[in-house]
Amino acid sequence: MPGRIIHAEHLELNRLLKNKCKYYSTRRSINPTNYKSTVLTANILTLFYSLITLVVINELFIGDKIFWPVVLASSNSEISFIQNDYDADKTKCIQSLLVNRNRIPDKAFNATSEVLDPSGARRYNAHSIRNENTDFAWCPGKRIGTECDEYIEVDMGELNIITKVVISGLLAEDGGSRYTPYFYIRYKREQNEENWRTYRQLRPTITSRLLGGLDALVPKFVVLDPPLIARWIRIYPYRDPPGFVCIRLEAYGCQFSDDLVEYRIPEGSLAHPPYQAETHLYKVQGSELFTNEKQNFSQAGGGLPFSDTCYDGHRIEPGSLLNGGLGCLIDLNIANRDATPFIQRGLKADKSMNHQFVGWHRDRWRSSQEKNNDVVDMLFRFASIRNFTRLRFYVSNNYIEKVRIPRRLEVKFSVGGVHFSGQSPISRDFKLENRSVGVFSITMDLSHRIGQVVQLKAFFADDWLLFSEIRFESEKVTTPVKLDESAVIPAKSSNNPMNNKNKEEDVVNTENGVNTKRFRLRQTML
């Protein structure tokens, strides 16, 4: 009933605080003394709770690290906090990749040499590397040393993310034990790649020479951090002193549904001024091999905060662009939703937190002579022409450190990979987020746009842009796609009568995509 006081201690306290004792019964007269006493009590309680709040906030400051409470709300309908299953992709990416003979036939395995099996059972040939029978394995036909001139190659038929491998050896008929104590992995994503890339492990130590087994029958589990994205892989056994080796192997991971083969981005910034990052040459450790190639000698990253440390391409000078590879933006290592990378405190903070993000400081563009200098321009090239439905990426928002979600995103598409004219770009504007701190998931509808190269522009809302992961949802286009007049048309034979037709009538057979060797991402595209 109106005017009746509810006799519950916590409800009465809340009522007093909310109404400051101005809500009292109309059926009785007001006693000035009681009124003043009640107001005084409410003020004391308010002061008490204020002191408690200050103590709690003070406890959030630990050393130089600040842990801000996360508000699970957003003023933007297009963005949301990432869910608790933020690493669902990683936990689900544990499928056996080589054991399925329907998906990967025996002819997909090739080796430089193999031991002849006197029994005729072909127990030691290339495809025996995946046999569950401990009497089968791939055994090179000569002693293995440090030259790394023997390898086994597997064509997995499609792009896969490999998160770990399991390697073991073989007990020889004479009682000997054959295994490889070390090995290298080299890989390709596209058939027309000129060079094989060498996998480089970042954690627990930076090395390309991976630790194999020390026993013929005990499997060695090797976690690939960062994960490896490839279609073709080669395993190079390494042994010092030289000896005979045999290898049984299984790879675990999942299909790389994004079908992305490379992206080009500006090199990440340092967490403290001057913000411009520098790429250090990849340091050879011990007697590591395969260090003379472009992608390894000019290895991008170098372990600096907010640089793409797992990028497997190379750096372009001038411009400090990372080109020709993939890296941390698609490594399945999505930062937790309460992750708050440290900027001004970057030198003192846990660097592993910063390595979950690739980011840029606005000063790099402010100091340049370029126009529209408040945007990070990125290009993504796919293995085939795709029908894009959605873009999702994970970005940090920490307005205390001047880290914000982009104020605007623009996405353009190209079939040929040179011109992005034709349809207008897909764009989204976002409000400043001043209430929430953490990692947001931003989703954009790509409206079934067609293309093989995607240009993504992210506009600064504050000093920093920090991305944890970028994922594209798309499907391969299997029907011919008509190119517009501004696109680059694949070369044709001089005696082909179709040469005289208008360009808008030309089509691209999308079964194998555009000739990607002709449409490499160029520096002028950024």
Q: State pLDDT tens for residues 193-202.
A: 989 999 999 8
Q: What is the mean pLDDT of residues 223-252?
A: 95
Q: What is the arithmetic mean of pLDDT over 23-35? A: 47
In Å, how far are 104, 132, 207, 249, 430 from 168, measured between CA atoms? 20, 11, 20, 7, 52
Averaged pLDDT for residues 150-173: 94
Taking only the tens place, the pLDDT of each residue in 358-399 is: 999 988 776 555 555 689 999 999 999 999 999 999 999 998
The kind and range of the H/E element at 353 are helix 351-354
Tokens coding 444: 């954009």
Q: Residue 20 carries which DSSP code?
A: T
Task: State the pLDDT at residue 287.
Answer: 47
Instruction: Tell me which CATH homologous superfamily contains domain 91-255.
Output: Galactose-binding domain-like (2.60.120.260)
pLDDT over 50 (residue 416) = yes
The dotted CATH code for 79-86+260-280+289-525 is 2.60.120.1190
Q: How confident is the model at residue 80 (pLDDT cuts 50, 70, 90)?
A: low
Q: Is residue 465's pLDDT more than 90?
A: yes
Q: CA 320, CA 400: separation in Å to the nearest integer? A: 28
pTM for this entry:
0.75
Higher per-residue confidence, 374 vs 428: 428
Query: Is there a contact between 465 and 395 (Cβ–Cβ < 8 Å)?
Result: yes
Domain ranges of the chain: 9-59, 79-86+260-280+289-525, 91-255
Indicate if the pLDDT at residue 495 is higher than 70.
no
Choice among 126-140, 216-230, 295-309 with the minimum mean pLDDT: 295-309
- At 344, is the pLDDT very low, low, confident or very high (cuts 50, 70, 90)? low
Mean pLDDT of 128-151: 91
Comparing 79-86+260-280+289-525 with 91-255, is the CATH topology the same? yes
pLDDT digit string (tens) for 58-73? 443 333 333 333 333 3
Residue 253 has pLDDT above 90, yes or no: yes
Q: Report how far residue 116's alpha carbon sits from residue 125's, in angstroms, rounded to the nearest whole number.
A: 8
pLDDT mean over 245-263: 95
C-alpha–C-alpha distance, residues 352 and 275, integer Å:
19
Using DSSP's 3-state secondary structure scheme, residue 432 falls into coil
Assess whether pLDDT exceeds 50 at residue 229: yes
pLDDT at 21: 41
Q: Which two tokens stand for residue 200?
A: 């480089």
Look at residue 216 in the predicted model and tell me its pLDDT. 86
Identify which of 354, 347, 378, 374 has the alpha carbon closest to the alpha carbon of residue 363: 374
Type of residue numbered 415: V
Compute φ and ψ for 150, nearest 5 degrees.
-120, 135
Confidence of residue 306 (pLDDT cuts 50, 70, 90): confident
pLDDT winner (highest mean) among 116-120, 307-311, 387-391: 387-391
Nearest by Cα to 397 from 44, 79, 6, 26: 79
Beta-bridged to residue 243, according to DSSP, are 144
> Nearest CA to 64 among 348, 306, 305?
348
Q: Round to whole Å and give the CA distance between 156 and 139.
A: 21
